[in-house]
Structure 1
């Protein structure tokens, strides 16, 4: 039988020795009858060492993880028994030095007079191919990641352009705005977390963008999240991203704002609107700079600077149990208070001119100035809507005017407003505790007492009442 298969192979031996693939010829017992030079080069086993030996025991005895590969399961040997041709990948051949290499091989039976007399296996080393595939896969993942990043950055840039209303909010020479701008310039040079406080319309987002623009992260993205615009469940997905199938409608993996802001700045507007659950997750990110996507277990590490802003009294929220005190301390590393417009009315002339300059470009106008009479009226108004309201007033008047100088009567819509009374935290707390005590008919303890409603131990409530000098008047 050996002579027959040798003779069969001999007919094309010159060709078989010349090809680059490894070729083995074996009889029905799995013994080597023919080994070409390419096979010797790839495995390190010579013709003389393998001739007449069971090939499987030399180079096919184990899987890549070292587990035994029984000869009865060997595809090459089985072809010599059943005559079925096979094409195999995902296996390894072992070299003489004990190392292995990934292979792809095909098997074909050798027949004589309709009887199987052996088999031929043709194999090739696919190490380089696998390395190229891995490199391509890695490159494609990087391209996909960069594409997502660029798409997100493009979206944010477009939004910025659409919402831009100039740097007017940071224009002014009043002592209060000069002091604030000095604080901004100092903290911008660091990576410290900043908490921006101020009423609606004062330009908190503008301050955040200015901090980012002056920082070392200015060439990276600043990503904004309006915490009030999402439900608690959607907000977590927006911040941390989600995995495919994490919830109904999650048809693919999506990066959250934290990942998109990596190496840049994340601006959390309306931070006081975060749910307690989201506050806990945010605290972890601030502490450890890592998180998991919704529905995932993989830890994602980021390098971000966080700037938060709110118009709410976080101290009062802490007292009410709706804001975590540990998160407050993390955010309140460097607080910046943006003054309301009524406290910097001397800046209104410069602010107005800056806003008019921007609106000229937006509206295609050519307003050169504003009359002294109109300007005086603007400076006498208390501006409950702050700079945003000033911008709206000027935009409306620019649209209406046919002159190059704004001259309008603002008295009809500018009744002097009494500045709002700003209470201290103690005054707010006193008023709140009094309202609960009155609702509970001054009962402090028990299931229907004020302490239960306030979520405080009875002893703590009594202590607070004593400190705030809260006593029953009748």
Structure 2
């Protein structure tokens, strides 16, 4: 049977003299011999706390217990016990420990001395001296180790007793404060290092958080105060003061502090720099507002110009929808001013102080579309050397203009719809979703119903975008706007060229109004700019070449959709045969067709063509 499995009372069987068994975890007396009851004059020792029997040497008792645990057994005569009647007993205590309990054999030294007169006093005295020297060496080693630990700490540490007198100061505290052990030990440290505030106001000790720790048992954490060095210079510190106890009695406090003077100075400089940045930002915002106003005046071509019923209807619809959060779908032929309408909606909305992000859906290759729209993180793909926000993130708080929305690859349309509906976007290669708050304005020059029927557009995306439709009428259907547009463009061009605007004659206006304008307003602006350059006299000379322009021709024979599809297939194959299958480049099939290589690649895929078709 293991000794630890025996009951405390059974372990006292055969014990000699006053003997106690203690629980190391709770300090509870588990068993006591009759001699112990008699010596301590207490018949109810079992169940009480042994520390209550220690008169005033609790620290020595703690060290003795540590020695017993460390060595397995030890003895001491430094601990004075007290009886139930508060009589003090000078005693010798022998201790043994099994790791869970502590067995103490207590010998009354007064009785021992009386017995010693009849035995070999000299031998016992010499043995006691040797044991004392051994114990003194042990405690000296413990004290040395504790001092090494305190001095190795990077923070300043000092202790005070219940009277505010300094009991110890570690090396870091001495170096930071310039005071030595001789200056501080036994002295009122508050009057040495904590006597004034930084503004010169006296700091009474009873208002000090450290005083409250050793008087009122409070743990205080202070993040910005000053201690005073011996040379009279202040240092900014943050510190924690914690009460310490000797048994149940409040014995003082320990203070751990660090010098934050350099950090505080850096933070002050940072705050000043941030204030300067804020002031600079405000100034730049004001300058930007001024420049934006100047740009709006100088570049009025961003405004919608015209007085025809079609233009008036567009302006009315812009005014109706601009102050709402509804999505807008702008339709119309290329060059009819869809981007201008989008800008007008944004500039008249509550989001006008935030950006209008213009994303040309057909200008990005399919393999880079997801990265451009949703963004990516570093390492998401080859060449992704840094994090980059997508157009959706850039438009947060503002407006996203999806120009030619029908050019979005089908596989990305679902991702875009999910991001817009859930108002969250996840960058390519990332797993963290970012919130979105934006308004969507889309434009297209195609018939989206046909795109949906052909399987190139998701109907749910069209429904999401087409909350408020606005149609831009082609220029050939509103000839009354041509005089105003021509004069507007002429003034802008001549101002840029530093020339006096020539006169636009009625004949020139009739010529402009009779032209079909397949390129719409964009083509008109180009014609006016070309005329301003070539006009040498006082009149505007316009040079229109209908044969050179891709003008619309009247179709005398109606073709079905199938016929048009067959013509497109045959024409595409012929171009690829002409270029030996080459799509991009100056001599590629895309250049012959007058389309972008990405558009032709998409068309080849849509038509289901393969290299065997043009080989």
TM-score normalised according to structure 1 size: 0.60
Deviations 1:187-226 (A, max 9, x none): 1111111111111111111111111111111111111111
Aligned residues of 2:402 and 2:441 also touching (Cα < 8 A): yes
CA RMSD of aligned residues (A): 5.1
Superposed displacement of residue 253, structure 1: 1.1
When residues 241 and 408 of structure 1 are mapped into structure 2, their CA distance, relative to the original with a 3 A threshold, is closer
1:379 maps onto 2:520 in alignment: no
Superposed displacement of residue 312, structure 1: 1.5
Superposed displacement of residue 171, structure 1: 1.3
Give 1:184's aligned residue: 318
Give 2:582's aligned residue: none
Superposed displacement of residue 338, structure 1: 0.7
Match of 1:333 among 467, 470, 474: 467
* RCO comparison, higher one (Cα < 8 Å, 6+): 1
Deviations 1:401-425 (A, max 9, x none): 122321346477699966666999x
When residues 8 and 394 of structure 1 are mapped into structure 2, their CA distance, relative to the original with a 3 A threshold, is closer
Give 2:86's aligned residue: none
Aligned residues of 1:316 and 1:429 also touching (Cα < 8 A): no
Superposed displacement of residue 21, structure 1: 2.4
Q: Distance in 1 between matches of 2:466 and 2:333?
A: 17
Give 2:360's aligned residue: 226
Match of 2:156 among 17, 21, 38: 21
Query: Which secondary structure does the structure 2 equivalent of 1:220 belong to?
Result: coil
Deviations 1:316-340 (A, max 9, x none): 1111111100000001111111111
Deviations 1:267-316 (A, max 9, x none): 11111111122211210122121110111111111211111111122111
Give 1:319's aligned residue: 453
Give 1:285's aligned residue: 419
Give 1:395's aligned residue: 529
Give 1:342's aligned residue: 476
Give 2:98's aligned residue: none
Give 1:208's aligned residue: 342
Give 2:408's aligned residue: 274
Q: Distance in 2 between matches of 1:281 and 1:126?
A: 54
Superposed displacement of residue 372, structure 1: 1.3
Q: Report 1:91-130 matches (<5 A).
A: 124=257
Give 1:255's aligned residue: 389
When residues 234 and 96 of structure 1 are mapped into structure 2, their CA distance, relative to the original with a 3 A threshold, is farther
Q: Distance in 1 between matches of 2:560 and 2:459?
A: 18
Q: Distance in 2 between matches of 1:257 and 1:422?
A: 45
Aligned residues of 2:392 and 2:425 also touching (Cα < 8 A): no
Q: Distance in 2 between matches of 1:20 and 1:317?
A: 72
Aligned residues of 1:194 and 1:332 also touching (Cα < 8 A): yes
Deviations 1:227-273 (A, max 9, x none): 11111232221112111111111111111122211111111111111
When residues 123 and 392 of structure 1 are mapped into structure 2, their CA distance, relative to the original with a 3 A threshold, is same
Q: Report 1:437-448 matches (<5 A).
A: none
Aligned residues of 1:271 and 1:308 also touching (Cα < 8 A): yes
Q: Distance in 1 between matches of 2:501 and 2:423?
A: 49
When residues 7 and 387 of structure 1 are mapped into structure 2, their CA distance, relative to the original with a 3 A threshold, is closer
Give 1:174's aligned residue: 308
Give 1:238's aligned residue: 372
Deviations 1:408-466 (A, max 9, x none): 46477699966666999xx9767679999xxxxxxxxxxxxxxxx999xxxxxxxxxxx
1:304 maps onto 2:438 in alignment: yes
Aligned residues of 1:373 and 1:407 also touching (Cα < 8 A): no
When residues 411 and 4 of structure 1 are mapped into structure 2, their CA distance, relative to the original with a 3 A threshold, is closer
Query: Which secondary structure does the structure 2 equivalent of 1:369 belong to?
Result: coil
Deviations 1:63-118 (A, max 9, x none): xxxxxxxxxxxxxxxxxxxxxxxxxxxxx999679xxxxxxxxxxxxxxxxxxxxx
Larger Rg: 2
Query: Which secondary structure does the structure 2 equivalent of 1:405 belong to?
Result: coil
Query: Which secondary structure does the structure 1 equivalent of 2:389 belong to?
Result: coil
Aligned residues: 345
5+ residue gaps, structure 1:
26-32, 50-91, 98-120, 437-452, 456-474
When residues 209 and 319 of structure 1 are mapped into structure 2, their CA distance, relative to the original with a 3 A threshold, is same
Superposed displacement of residue 387, structure 1: 0.7
Query: Which secondary structure does the structure 2 equivalent of 1:228 belong to?
Result: helix
Q: Distance in 1 between matches of 2:556 and 2:366?
A: 30
Q: Distance in 2 between matches of 1:248 and 1:95?
A: 56
Aligned residues of 1:268 and 1:308 also touching (Cα < 8 A): yes
Q: Distance in 1 between matches of 2:532 and 2:402?
A: 33
Q: Distance in 1 between matches of 2:502 and 2:346?
A: 32
Superposed displacement of residue 43, structure 1: 13
Superposed displacement of residue 4, structure 1: 8.3
